[in-house]
A and B are shown apart, each in its own frame.
Chain A
């Protein structure tokens, strides 16, 4: 391979570009995006409103996370959006000027301006015609930056509220471009079905641009994700309506190439950063396994289960995962037991768990800094799936991670119920250095990144 032949690293190229800018960022976002490789200034938490708590609305909560700040570890901004939408995931534009955040129930997409004043985001635009524009896609989930565009993965559709869905492409102005439906048995759209399933379900989307590959995973439709969790577990028919596939796409042409069987609801996708590491990981929620999606020696993309997460028989329910920037470690959060597990993935075909820690009674998302030294955790999975009673903790926690001693150290907790905020879900980072190189970083400058 050309890249291998010359030992050239795309990551190295990207790192070089960013190096003079002190950019940094989580390790799990688009490779097209500016990176924060140093200390992040803020964490933006897309938060579900809770009936009877505070203003009851979904909101973007801004936490000051710069240790040098006088308001370190404090909530410094709360921006409510006027109702409850089943707030879920969010994603930054490639220039990190805007944060897109979706409502899985209302199908609204909120676009926040996080660059004009990173400490106090404002609501820039609300997309309210997602279902109509896309031809019936429901549940805007992942917001993934492409150059000048955002790829949105849907979870459902407005025909049967099931799992068949699509990728939806918007431009950076928030204008609809195209809908790319996932392949099904009835319409494979030119893709090759390699196993038993071609369910057309969706969840996450990631790319490996150097291989011209885009990957999607599969979860479940509106009729399930809005159902009471306990009720759904007792509903045999509902439990059949989970995704069992991942799809390999041609990134450039947006055409599906191959449907892989990955049974048990493969959720988050994290691709390796290294120039020769042509693989990605996912975890299956229902079967509690780590899967490796990789390019074999013949250039074919394959999928295989490579490790168990906890005891699959106890259904720990793996949720968010996070790969380290050196591709050597993978964090796996399991919702039911509230644990974070760290796997050594130096050999991606044989992940080995080397650490685990009880984070709380429930845990969902994890966002780690580029250097891996800080890991932020949050709690909420879905409004109707979160635990109840005392087990329904809602917080954001920061831990320091020592790679040498393999130890998490708790730094602080912000209780989202005590603060009357709601259920804490997706966390994204912000930094003044993204927008200006002035020493006075609060000075408004033309935007920027790299």
Chain B
């Protein structure tokens, strides 16, 4: 399933995204093959260490989560905090044409596996919200984000694929979350898309407080589920 998700992302990237519609698929496949030996822990089934028992440790209040206007898959303007719906939220910044194996596809795969692992635990799943928010509004229109998320959230889970209406709307959100992005610029200074980003996923509680921040070194569904359970236990 993990590989399916990964290939699906690549399929999207290779065939559906207008910028890369003419890319050579074989080249992409070769790239995937060469990258398979450097996959992050989140691509694997098991962590390499034993997790502490849920609720046996504390997830500290790191700080308040940021807010701002975003656009949902249908083009409606809403506030990011409203999209969280008062639930425990996993927030990931992505962009649809990201090909970094250990970047956006990893975050998307981990979210997918979380909902799969929790599909028989409606009690937890009903209290969880997952949000994938684009940091490339120039390319990621609501239509593109809708297409990106299509079929990913097929189980009874809340997973939104959001974007913003402009860089001006996005930048304050990125700044608040300290989400680093390197952007490309042409020689004439005009914007040329996202070069790369620092992968981060935020665990936000029902009070909209950031309780953990994950990166590529330990972004694994088991660890995130452990933390979600801990939040539920600690918050009663």
Contact = CB atoms under 8 A, between A and B. Distances in A.
Interface of A: 1-3, 6-10, 12-17, 20-21, 31-32, 34, 94-95, 97, 146-149, 169, 171-173, 175, 177-178, 209-212, 250, 252-255, 435-439, 443, 445-450
Contacts of A95: 178, 180, 198
Given A17-B103, A148-B200, A10 B217 contact: yes
Given A13-B102, A439-B187, A446 B171 contact: yes
A13 B184 contact: no
For B48, B103, B185, B214, the residue with the greatest tally of chain A CB atoms inside 10 Å of its CB is: B48
B143 interface: no
B216 A17 contact: yes
A445 B182 CA distance: 8
A13 B40 contact: yes
A210 B219 CA distance: 11
Given A8-B37, A13-B39, A209-B218, A254 B198 contact: no
A212 B49 contact: yes
Nearest to B219: A147
Contact of B62 (A171, A435, A436): A171
Nearest to A437: B195
Interface in B177-236: 178, 180-185, 187, 189, 195-200, 210, 213-218, 223
B41 A438 contact: no
A279 to B, nearest CB: 15
29 contacts: A2-B45, A9-B38, A13-B38, A13-B40, A13-B102, A14-B216, A14-B217, A16-B101, A17-B196, A21-B195, A95-B178, A147-B213, A149-B62, A177-B62, A210-B217, A250-B57, A253-B58, A254-B58, A436-B183, A437-B182, A437-B183, A437-B184, A439-B187, A445-B182, A447-B181, A448-B182, A448-B183, A449-B182, A450-B197
Given A13-B39, A252-B57, A449 B180 contact: yes
B182 A15 contact: no
B102 A17 contact: yes
Given A16-B35, A439-B187, A447-B180, A169 B60 contact: yes
A10 B40 contact: yes
B180 A448 contact: yes
Interface string B15-56: 000000000000000000001011111001111110110001
Contact of A252 (B35, B215, B223): B223
Nearest to B45: A2
B48 A210 contact: yes
A147 B214 contact: yes
Nearest to A93: B178
A448 B63 contact: no
Contacts of A178: 60
A2 B46 contact: yes
Among B38, B183, B189, B200, which residue has the most Cβ atoms of chain A within 10 A?
B38
Given A14-B217, A254-B57, A450-B198, 10 more contacts: A2-B46, A7-B37, A17-B196, A209-B218, A446-B180, A446-B182, A448-B195, A449-B198, A450-B180, A450-B197
The A interface, classified by DSSP as helix, strand, loop or mixed, is loop
A2 B44 contact: yes
A443 B192 CA distance: 14
B52 A252 contact: yes
Nearest to B178: A172
A446 B185 contact: no
Nearest to A18: B196
Most buried by A among B35, B185, B214: B185
Interface footprint category on B = 35 or more
A254 B197 CA distance: 27
A95 B179 CA distance: 9
B61 interface: yes
Contacts of A147: 200, 213-215
Contacts of B44: 2, 6, 8
A396 B180 CA distance: 31
Nearest to B56: A253
A211 B213 CA distance: 18
Most buried by B among A17, A147, A175, A439: A147
A231 B38 CA distance: 54
Contact of A448 (B37, B58, B196, B217): B196
B83 interface: no
Contacts of A21: 182, 195-196
Contact of A177 (B60, B102, B183): B60
B218 A438 contact: no
A16 B102 contact: yes
B5 interface: no
- Residue of B57, B102, B103, B217 with most partner-chain A CB within 10 A: B217
A450 B214 CA distance: 13
A438 B188 CA distance: 10
B174 interface: yes
Contacts of A211: 48-49
A300 B217 CA distance: 21
B82 interface: no
B100 interface: yes
A17 B180 contact: no
Contact of B213 (A149, A438, A449): A149
B125 to A, nearest CB: 23
B52 A253 contact: yes
Contacts of A2: 44-48
A97 B38 CA distance: 27
Contacts of A445: 182-183, 185
Contacts of A12: 37-38
**A-B residue pairs, 7 tightest by C-beta:** A253-B57, A448-B182, A148-B213, A12-B38, A209-B217, A95-B180, A448-B180
Contacts of B181: 446-448
Contacts of A250: 52, 57
Nearest to B135: A446
B48 A3 contact: yes
